[in-house]
Structure 1
Amino acid sequence: MTETLFALVSTYGLWVVAGSAFLSCLAIPIPTAVIMLAAGGFAAAGDLVFWQVLGTAWLAAVLGDQTGFHIGRWGGPPLIDAIARRTGRHKLIGRARDTVHHWGGIGVFLSTWLFAPLGPWVNLIAGAARLERWRFTVWDVAGETIWVTAYVTLGFAFGSRLEELTDIVTDWSGMIVSAAMTVTLATLLVLKLRKTRKMR
């Protein structure tokens, strides 16, 4: 799988970077992190231009998030409920809904890089919840800047050991996301308990 992705990046370059970054923000399961690592590695080898990879991935990711946000804004809660029924992603969508409702713009920011699996769903729910466009955009741009810069730069810095780096980052990112989600859920629980006590 990894070798196939590397071959796609080598053959189609920025088109693959742009397509994967855009589509992954719409909940299409594409290993965009691996593709950005590969593109960074090819930039280090001189096959691609670093700033073009960075700019393409960043712009495509922001456009993907904006598309998801406006789809959610257009469809509203009924669309979210329909997607949950058809995809069976009730738990993931529920977590995304809690993230938006409790954290607002900061939740959008964290979902673009720290809680990346939630990102596409947060985009939809933020739109459906009528989060202000400017707030969504500001936090989204900040988060995608971190996400894209981190992966492309890692690929550029360690391009000679790209396959090993891909394995490490894949395992590491999964552990980080799991730990971060656990901490966030625990924080939300504590805040809810405090709120309940104050109401008594």
Structure 2
Amino acid sequence: MTEYLFGLVTDYGVWVIFASTFLSCLLVPMPSSLMMLASGAMAAVGDMVLWQVAASAFAGAVLGDQSGYQIGRRAGAGLHRLTKGSHSRQQLLERAHTTVDKHGGIGVFLSTWLFAPLGPWVNMVAGATRLSWPRFTLWDTLGETIWVTIYVGLGFAFSTSFSAVGEILSNAIGFVTSLAAAIALGAWLLHRAKRAKKHT
């Protein structure tokens, strides 16, 4: 996988980085984080230019998020069709709704880097719920700046062991997302228990 990623970046340069971050923000399964790590590592050894790598990753991510927001704005009611027949997707969509409803712009910000698996869903839900576009854009841009800086920066700093760094980061993000889901579920169950107690 590592050699394949290096080969893609070597053959297509910043365009493949742009495409990977753009598509990953539109629910297309792409190893965008690993692509950024790989390109950061190649910039460290002089095969690529660091600012071009960062700029292409950032542009792809922001444009992908903006596209997701516009999709949600135009077809908000149809979002539930995307989750039909997939329990995991239904859960992600419900969490995205909760994130936007409770936290608004901060939720968008955190979904771009800390809770990355929620990101594409949050973008579409933000559009569907008519979250202000300037507010969405502000928080999204700030979040994507952090996401790109973390992965490209770590690839650049740890160019000799970027695959190990990628695995550690992937596990950490998975843990944080699972923890957030568990906390949200606990809060929901507590709320339901209080309501049931009140009615009885």
TM-score by length of 2: 0.89
Instruction: Give the structure 2 partner of residue 81 of structure 1.
Output: 80
Instruction: Give the structure 2 partner of residue 160 of structure 1.
Output: 160
Q: Distance in 1 between matches of 2:188 and 2:112?
A: 19
Instruction: Give the structure 2 partner of residue 114 of structure 1.
Output: 114
Shift of residue 184, structure 1, vs aligned partner: 4.8
Q: Distance in 1 between matches of 2:82 and 2:135?
A: 25
Instruction: Give the structure 1 partner of residue 151 of structure 2.
Output: 151
Amino acid at match of 1:32: S
Instruction: Give the structure 2 partner of residue 171 of structure 1.
Output: 171
Shift of residue 189, structure 1, vs aligned partner: 6.4
Instruction: Give the structure 2 partner of residue 140 of structure 1.
Output: 140
Instruction: Give the structure 2 partner of residue 68 of structure 1.
Output: 68
Structure 1 gaps of 5+ residues are none
Shift of residue 186, structure 1, vs aligned partner: 4.5
Amino acid at match of 1:56: S
CA RMSD of the aligned region, Å? 2.3
Change (3 A) 1:80 1:106: same
Change (3 A) 1:52 1:185: farther
Instruction: Give the structure 2 partner of residue 17 of structure 1.
Output: 17
Amino acid at match of 1:85: K
Instruction: Give the structure 1 partner of residue 125 of structure 2.
Output: 125
Instruction: Work out the number of aligned pairs and report it.
Output: 197
CA contact (8 A) 2:44 2:156 kept: yes
C-alpha distance after superposition, 1:164-198 (max 9, x if no partner): 222222223222332344345546667x57x96xx
Quote the sequence identity (%): 51
Shift of residue 55, structure 1, vs aligned partner: 0.9
Shift of residue 4, structure 1, vs aligned partner: 1.2
C-alpha distance after superposition, 1:100-135 (max 9, x if no partner): 111111111110011100000011111010111011
Structure 2 gaps of 5+ residues are none
Amino acid at match of 1:107: G
CA contact (8 A) 2:70 2:127 kept: yes
Amino acid at match of 1:131: L
Q: Distance in 2 between matches of 1:105 and 1:188?
A: 22
Q: Distance in 2 between matches of 1:2 and 1:167?
A: 12
Change (3 A) 1:168 1:129: same
TM-score by length of 1: 0.89
Amino acid at match of 1:83: L
SS of equivalent residue, structure 1 residue 112: helix
Q: Distance in 1 between matches of 2:101 and 2:16?
A: 34
CA contact (8 A) 2:115 2:173 kept: no
Q: Distance in 1 between matches of 2:166 and 2:7?
A: 15
